[in-house]
Amino acid sequence: MESVDRRRRRLMQGLGVAGAATATGTWPMFGQAQTPSRGGMVRIAAPIADNLEPVTMTGSGTIAIVQQVAEYLVWAEDDLSLRPVLATEWYPEDNARIWHFKLREGVMFQDGREMTSADVVASFQRMVEPDSGSSGAAQLDFLQPNNVTAEGRYAVRFELDRPVGAFPYYTHVYNAVILPADYSGDFANNPVGTGPFRLVDYRPQEGARLERNPDYWDNPLPYLDAVELDFYDGSQPQVLAMQGGEADAMLSAGYIDIRPLFEADDIRMVAQPTSTHAQVTMRTDQKPFDDVRVRQAVALAVDRPRAIEVLLGGNASLGNDHPLAPIYPSEVNIRQRERDLNRARSLLTDAGYPNGFPIDLHVGRLAELSQYGEMLQQMLAEIGIEVDLKIEPLNVYYDHWTEVTFGVTDWASRATPGQFLNAAFRGGADWNAPKWANDRFDDVLDQFEREADETRRAALGEELASILNEEVPAVISYFKDGFRPVNKRVRDLPGNMSNFLDLTRTWVT
């Protein structure tokens, strides 16, 4: 209970930090009671959908469309509670190595067939197949396809390679939507799910129209008759669409881009703390970052409070080079790293770089990251590190982000820190961009993942954070608050720590 209270306090602090932006807004968890009305439409401004394929989708625009058509077993709320969706119950055995999920009965796909365990088994097997190309496979690397099995018509058994106490949260990774067992691809022309809306029109590079599913299992939801998702190339056109009344909401927004909307009379800003952060990764298997003293020097050169103020208007929590953000119940109490240029120069000298060195820094063009790259360039110059900044389109950056020597990668918020720790820092993990390996870390991470007792889990989390803080495979300077600008005529459109879009209870005045 204390951990929930602490998260709620942090959420409320986030509202306060957002200042004028939230003073006139509402927060879905604590908002005043209102009576929804049926009908109407909302228009959402979103990034261009890159690949309308649930198994392999990665772009937020694509994910937003698919999440209206297809659903997950559970939904992770922003207070980190789990809402039953297509599963109604779940429980572990064998110290959380095996998980059983009971399915909701009578749920119909939009083609009139009932969803059963066969569909859930096929959906997970399809996602975690080694050749699936799904990011879900990388995040669920402890689940083999043959170890997902049906237990009758309405229950599924997951046998994991190792105990994972937070496994239910992993069923909410964005690729894990439940599709029919015989789904064979081409979602744009075969958009079948159990969700609250049906995809009736998809226009690549332009947008999509969704209409209310009259047979939705959670009747009388949804309230809206239709949803239009319009694609925009970049944040600025989305801001202009909000200002011109062409959009009712933005899917997500970076602080720098949406500053003009903070003072708009007809817009409220849904804001919340998240675990979203930027990892400044350093290849530990290559010079000069194969020397931990060099990585520590980089971390000591970063002025974190200044970055938070300049890039995010103060709307962020301080980072300490590990991903256990303040939103999680596993509170971390290790000494906060502060800027110390003399110590950084001394470490570089000890490592054999008294005059610094030149290095390319690769950054994807997203939100505040380009400006963060420029700040890093200036900060590192003060200790002799000459950064050649390589700001790249996202598709270019994500073609080689795990291979660059020095890079800045955006990590969207996750419901459990294990999703970051396993994917980004476990030895040999596909998304371990620093190529860092530490046997002690992996051993403690195994204990952390299977530990159910919150006190012991917090102690293990602190040890993991300490190892990362000392070894610095990545600099993590801040955890930024998320923003979702919404027109005031739109009610009950919540924010989401992962920028997921839930329009099930949304209505318009």
Q: Measured between alpha carbons, how far is residue 188 from residues 123, 208, 225, 270, 500 in Å? A: 17, 10, 20, 30, 20
- Give pairs for 112-118: CB < 8 Å, separation 24+: 113/180, 115/86, 115/178, 115/194, 116/150, 116/153, 116/154, 117/150, 117/151, 117/152, 117/153, 117/154, 117/155, 117/156, 118/150, 118/181
Query: What is the pLDDT tens value at each position of the chain, 509 positions in all?
Result: 333 334 433 443 333 332 222 222 233 333 445 789 999 999 999 988 778 999 999 888 999 999 999 999 999 988 889 999 999 999 999 989 999 999 999 999 999 999 999 999 999 999 999 999 998 998 898 999 999 999 999 999 999 999 999 999 999 999 999 999 999 999 999 999 999 999 999 999 899 999 999 999 999 999 999 999 999 988 889 999 999 999 999 998 888 889 999 989 999 999 889 999 999 999 999 999 999 999 999 999 999 999 999 999 999 999 999 999 999 987 899 999 999 999 999 999 999 999 999 999 999 988 899 999 999 999 999 999 999 999 998 889 999 999 999 999 999 899 899 999 999 999 999 899 999 999 999 999 999 998 878 889 999 999 999 999 999 999 999 999 999 999 999 999 999 888 899 999 999 99
Q: How many residues does the chain have?
A: 509
The DSSP-derived string for 175-244 is T-----TT--S-TTT----SSSEEEEEEETTTEEEEEE-TT-TTTT----SEEEEEEESSHHHHHHHHHT
Same fold, 71-187 and 273-482: no
CATH architecture entry for 71-187? Alpha-Beta Complex (3.90)
DSSP one-letter code for 161: S
For the CA atoms of 262, 64, 279, 403, the dihedral, rounded to the nearest 10 degrees, stands at -140
What phi and psi, each to the nearest 5 degrees, are found at residue 312? -130, 10
In the block, tokens 């694509």 appear at 62
* Domain boundaries, given as residue ranges, for the chain: 71-187, 273-482
Topology annotation, domain 273-482: Dipeptide-binding Protein; domain 3 (3.10.105)
Residue 33's pLDDT is 54
What pTM, to 2 d.p., does this model score?
0.84
pLDDT score, position 39 = 96
Residue 484 and residue 272: Cα distance in Å, rounded? 9
| Cβ contacts of 115-119, under 8 Å, gap ≥ 24 | 115/86, 115/178, 115/194, 116/150, 116/153, 116/154, 117/150, 117/151, 117/152, 117/153, 117/154, 117/155, 117/156, 118/150, 118/181, 119/178, 119/179, 119/180, 119/181
What values do phi and psi take at 391, rounded to 5?
A: -85, 125
Cα distances (Å, whole numbers) of residue 439 to 146, 291, 318, 381, 434 = 28, 18, 28, 34, 15
Assign 3-class secondary structure to 60-93: HHHHHHHHHHCCCCEEECCCCCEEECCEEEEEEE
